Amino acid sequence: MPKDFQQTDTVAPLGADVACSGVSIANTAEARLAVEVGSDGILTPLVRFTLPQSADEAGVMWELDPLEDVPTGDHIIRLTITTTNTAVTWTECHVCYWDDSASSFVDLGNVTGLGIVLDTAQLETATITGADAPPAYAANDRLYYVAVFDATGAHGNQAFNWTPVDFITTPIVVAGGNSPYYYNKLLGYQAA
Instruction: Please check the confidence at residue 128 and state whether its pLDDT lies above 60.
Output: yes
Task: Say how many Å lie between the first and final Cα of the chain, rounded.
Answer: 10
Amino acid at 41: G
* Residue 72 DSSP label: S
> How confident is residue 117, by pLDDT bands cut at 50, 70 and 90?
very high
Is pTM beyond 0.75? Reply is yes
Contact present, 66 and 143 (Cβ < 8 Å): yes
How many Å apart are CA 116 and CA 152, to the nearest integer? 13
Q: In the chain, what percentage of residues exceed pLDDT 70?
A: 77
> How confident is residue 5, by pLDDT bands cut at 50, 70 and 90?
very high
| Residue 184 or 9, more confident | 9
Instruction: Please check the confidence at residue 155 and state whether its pLDDT lies above 70.
Output: no
Residues in a beta bridge with 7:
34
Please give the mean pLDDT across all residues of the chain: 81
Contact present, 31 and 2 (Cβ < 8 Å): no
30-34, 35-39, 82-86, range with greatest mean pLDDT: 82-86
Instruction: Please check the confidence at residue 126 and state whether its pLDDT lies above 80.
Output: yes
Predicted confidence at residue 72, as pLDDT, reads: 95
Instruction: Please check the confidence at residue 185 and state whether its pLDDT lies above 60.
Output: no
**Which residue ranges make up each domain of the chain?**
2-175
Predicted confidence at residue 180, as pLDDT, reads: 47
| Residue 50 or 177, more confident | 50
> How confident is residue 183, by pLDDT bands cut at 50, 70 and 90?
very low
Predicted confidence at residue 19, as pLDDT, reads: 64
Instruction: Please check the confidence at residue 54 and state whether its pLDDT lies above 70.
Output: no
Residues with Cβ < 8 Å from 149, sequence gap 6 or more? Answer: 47, 57, 58, 59, 60, 88, 89, 90, 91, 118, 160
Instruction: Please state which CATH class domain 2-175 belongs to.
Output: mainly beta
